């Protein structure tokens, strides 16, 4: 239903999103998980056609969002990060206005307003002035506005932001109830949110997708990863290079280094893969001393941080 191909968006020459590709099947809920500034909003704006891409292509329901914006947008309900609510309008007045823009026939207008207000649980708020609503209720008006016209595709940028725990629960339930009926892309910083509501998760960091899979698959893949801290008598750089060459090693960091001693942290892709004896061998067979080795498994939270935390300067240029 949604195809994103090699999407790149630069702002003043600086890439916010780099070569992102993914697709979303009809009826699927895809969660976009990533820290601040990762490129979630930029990607979502490109999908809705509001933001022209620097390069790459996005199609929704087979329509190119830039070549056929009207056809594509007709299929999309969009909850932006900051919904442009007309502050002085009433809730019902605003939603009626949105419905007209979206081409809902006047004969269906009353029914459609009742439907979206009930779905967003604001059916008792129709007469309220938007500027006087609490943040959570404004968010619900934003959600109602995305639902007007019952579009098959919903793009929801942080739909639970500003809601209280009960409302968060309700919105997650609501999204879950759409599985199979709407194709949804939602963004969030919150890990449990994607586990609870999404078929698949794309983890995005520094404008790139760093992992995609079902929540269960990601947890499984990520929980197999291990971190091993090693104390060695060797020049830090050479030891790091030797350990980095061991199969299964994803990353090596120097935690501490003095003249001939170093403490290194190795991240390995599989605890079950018996990487530890290989790491020990890589040190010992070069004639260096091995003073200590400690391993710990990484939690999903660790891995998420690991995948999404900024690389040291220069790290980005390499990829
Ligand atoms: N209109 C713009 N002009 C210049 N830079 C921008 C613009 N919009 C976004 N950026 C930059 O692009 C990068 C990605 O921003 P984006 O808003 O897509 O991140 P995000 O993942 O949605 O973050 P958050 O979780 O904070 O909402 C950031 O570095 C941001 O500063
Ligand atoms: Mg954002």
Res 30: pLDDT: 95
Q: Is residue 150 part of a domain?
A: yes
DSSP assignment of 99-121 equals: HHHTT--HHHHHHHHHHHHHHTT
71 and 164 both lie in a single domain: yes
Res 143: pLDDT: 92
Q: Is residue 147 part of a domain?
A: yes
Contact present, 155 and 48 (Cβ < 8 Å): yes
Res 302: pLDDT: 65
Tell me the pLDDT tens digit for each residue of 96-124.
999 998 889 999 999 999 999 998 889 99
217 and 273 both lie in a single domain: no
Domain boundary residue, one of 200, 221, 242:
221
For residue 305, is pLDDT > 80? no
Return the residue whose CA atom lies nearest to atom 4 of ligand 1.
11
Q: Is residue 317 part of a domain?
A: no
Distance CA 158, CA 49 (A): 18
- SS3 assignment, position 88: coil
Mean pLDDT across the chain: 87
- SS3 assignment, position 32: strand
Q: Is residue 313 part of a domain?
A: no
Tell me the pLDDT tens digit for each residue of 141-159.
999 999 999 999 999 999 9
Distance CA 47, CA 41 (A): 10
Res 8: pLDDT: 96
Contact present, 116 and 147 (Cβ < 8 Å): yes
51 and 150 both lie in a single domain: yes
Among 7, 40, 194, which residue has the most ligand 1 atoms within 8 Å of its CB, making it the best to mutate?
A: 40
Q: Is residue 76 part of a domain?
A: yes
**Ligand 2 mean position to 36 CA, how many Å?**
7
Tell me the pLDDT tens digit for each residue of 7-57.
999 999 999 999 999 999 999 999 998 888 889 999 999 999 989 999 999
Q: At what angle are helices 135-147 and 106-119 packed, to 10 degrees?
A: 140
209 and 285 both lie in a single domain: no
**Ligand 1 mean position to 186 CA, how many Å?**
16
Domain CATH code at residue 17:
3.40.50.300
Task: State residue 291 phi and psi, 5-degree precision.
Answer: -100, -25
Q: Is residue 273 part of a domain?
A: yes
Res 310: pLDDT: 58
Domain boundary residue, one of 199, 221, 243:
221
Distance CA 156, CA 204 (A): 16
* Confidence band, pLDDT 50/70/90 cuts, at residue 92: very high
Q: Is residue 315 part of a domain?
A: no
73 and 173 both lie in a single domain: yes
**Ligand 2 mean position to 96 CA, how many Å?**
27
Domain count, the chain: 2
Q: Is residue 241 part of a domain?
A: yes
36 and 113 both lie in a single domain: yes
Return the residue whose CA atom lies nearest to atom 31 of ligand 1.
37
Full residue range of the structural domain in which residue 163 is found: 2-221
Where does ligand 1 bind, in terms of residues with CB under 6 Å? 11, 16, 34, 36-42, 81
Domain CATH code at residue 269:
3.30.70.1340
Q: What Rg value do the Cα atoms of the chain yield, rounded?
A: 24
**Ligand 1 mean position to 206 CA, how many Å?**
10
Tell me the pLDDT tens digit for each residue of 241-283.
999 999 888 889 999 998 889 999 998 875 455 788 899 999 9
Q: What does DSSP say about strands 200-205 and 183-188: parallel, antiparallel, or unpaired?
A: unpaired
* Mean pLDDT to the nearest integer, 156-184: 87
**Ligand 2 mean position to 166 CA, how many Å?**
23
Domain boundary residue, one of 186, 221, 256:
221
94 and 191 both lie in a single domain: yes
């Amino acid at each position: 239903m949604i195809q994103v191909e090699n999407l790149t968006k630069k702002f003043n020459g600086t890439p916010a999103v780099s070569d992102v590709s993914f697709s979303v099947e009809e009826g699927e809920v895809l969660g976009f998980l990533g820290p601040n500034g990762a490129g979630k909003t930029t990607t979502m704006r490109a999908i809705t056609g509001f933001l022209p891409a620097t390069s790459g292509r996005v199609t929704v329901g087979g329509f190119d969002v830039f070549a056929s914006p009207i056809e594509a947008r007709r299929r999309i309900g969009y909850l932006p990060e900051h919904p442009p609510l007309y502050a002085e309008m009433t809730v019902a007045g605003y939603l009626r206005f949105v419905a007209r823009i979206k081409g809902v026939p006047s004969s269906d207008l009353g029914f459609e307003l009742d439907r979206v207000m009930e779905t967003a649980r604001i059916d008792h708020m129709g007469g309220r002035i938007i500027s006087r609503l609490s943040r959570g209720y404004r968010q619900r008006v934003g959600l109602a506005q995305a639902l007007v016209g019952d579009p098959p595709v919903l793009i929801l940028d942080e739909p639970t932001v500003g809601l209280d725990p009960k409302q968060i629960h309700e919105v997650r339930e609501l999204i879950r109830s759409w599985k199979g009926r709407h194709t949804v892309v939602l963004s969030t910083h919150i890990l449990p949110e994607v586990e609870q509501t999404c078929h698949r998760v794309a983890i995005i960091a520094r404008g790139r997708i760093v992992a995609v899979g079902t929540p269960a698959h990601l947890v499984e893949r990520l929980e197999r990863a291990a971190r091993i801290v090693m104390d060695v008598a060797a020049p830090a750089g050479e030891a790091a290079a030797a350990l980095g060459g061991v199969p299964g090693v994803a990353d090596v960091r120097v935690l501490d280094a003095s003249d001939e001693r170093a403490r290194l942290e190795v991240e390995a892709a599989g605890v079950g893969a018996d990487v530890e004896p290989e790491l020990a061998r890589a040190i010992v067979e070069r004639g260096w001393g091995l003073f200590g080795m400690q391993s710990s498994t990484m939690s999903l939270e660790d891995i998420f941080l690991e995948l999404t935390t900024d690389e040291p300067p220069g790290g980005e240029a390499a990829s």
